[in-house]
Amino acid sequence: MKVLVPVKRVIDYNVKVRVKADQSGVDLANVKMSMNPFDEIAVEQAIRLKEAGQVTEIVVVSIGVEKSQETLRNALAMGADRAILVKAVDNVEDDVEPLTVAKILKGIVDEEQPGLVIMGKQAIDNDMNATGQMLSALMGWSQGTFASGLELTDGSATVTREVDGGLQVIKIPTPCVLTVDLRLNEPRYASLPNIMKAKKKPLEVKEPGDYGASVEKRLTIVKVEEPPARKAGVMVGSVEELVEKLKTEAGVL
């Protein structure tokens, strides 16, 4: 079975986010970019399925700027077999909306016919948590979102989902879309020899039009601001003083 893993190039999760003075967005110039952490977990899961003999080929795809190639090479170095870059925008600050991404991915799924699509539950930049569900809807497939456990048997996937209050286990037929949560696995680091080998793995460059899709925006960004800052608090010297202040000053006890 072939697995498709979409990956997104986003601001590195360790980088402090700075809002631009003109309120047009977040400053992404000369900022370290990395693979979205949830997508790393998706790549890792695909590799583990391949190592277990349940998957034969892993195709990774990224939709964004030309530089997303770096993210794809990283996935190839981890163990994916080949990559597709869909060059959808020129400016890194032009985020491609999940609906557009899902439409492009549908075109790729129609062409590649994977048995499974595994992706991160959410990108840590726009925090939409939407693309997997949207792709599943456009394909008319089942969706197994926020997965922290996965068992593949012939023609179906048993998915343990992280839900409010605990876990939910569902069984869905394949092909399907899975979106992964943090606890599913711990992604590996690419070794240096594998990074070298990844440079020779195939990487195709495509355009949205190749899949009959166009990049359109349904949401206009009016402005992006800093979140309201909390005013500085006070330090207390003892537990007794703390309890006293919570009772009398803050009135929350």
Ranges within 28-67 binding another protein (CB under 8 A): none
How far apart (Å, rounded) are the C-alpha atoms in residues 215 and 97? 8
Binder of another protein out of 56, 196, 202, 246 (CB under 8 A): 246
163 binds another protein (CB under 8 A): yes
Nearer to another protein, 89 or 182 (CB): 182
The single-letter code of the amino acid at 154 is D
Burial group, residue 75, by CB count within 10 angstroms (0-12, 13-18, 19+): buried
- Shortest Å, Cβ 201 to another protein: 30
Answer yes or no: are the C-beta atoms of 58 and 79 closer than 8 Å: yes
Nearer to another protein, 124 or 203 (CB): 124
Nearer to another protein, 15 or 205 (CB): 15
And the tokens for 220? Answer: 């206009």
Binder of another protein out of 1, 31, 92, 124 (CB under 8 A): 124
Within 126-155, the residues that bind another protein by CB under 8 A are 126-138, 140-143, 145-146, 148
Within 167-206, the residues that bind another protein by CB under 8 A are 167-173, 181-183
How far apart (Å, rounded) are the C-alpha atoms in residues 194 and 76? 8
Within 200-229, the residues that bind another protein by CB under 8 A are 217-227
And the tokens for 252? Answer: 């929350």
Q: Residue 105: phi, psi to the nearest 5?
A: -60, -35
79 binds another protein (CB under 8 A): no
235 binds another protein (CB under 8 A): yes
Nearer to another protein, 74 or 142 (CB): 142
- Shortest Å, Cβ 166 to another protein: 4
- Shortest Å, Cβ 203 to another protein: 28
Q: Per CB under 8 A, which region of 45-53, 79-87, 94-102, 198-206 contacts another protein?
A: 94-102
And the tokens for 111? Answer: 């062409």
Does residue 99 come out as left (phi exceeding 0), alpha (psi in the -120 to 50 range) or beta?
Answer: alpha
98 binds another protein (CB under 8 A): yes
Distance separating the N- and C-terminal Cα atoms of the chain: 58
How far apart (Å, rounded) are the C-alpha atoms in residues 197 and 190? 11
Q: How many CB atoms lie within 10 A of CB 181?
A: 18
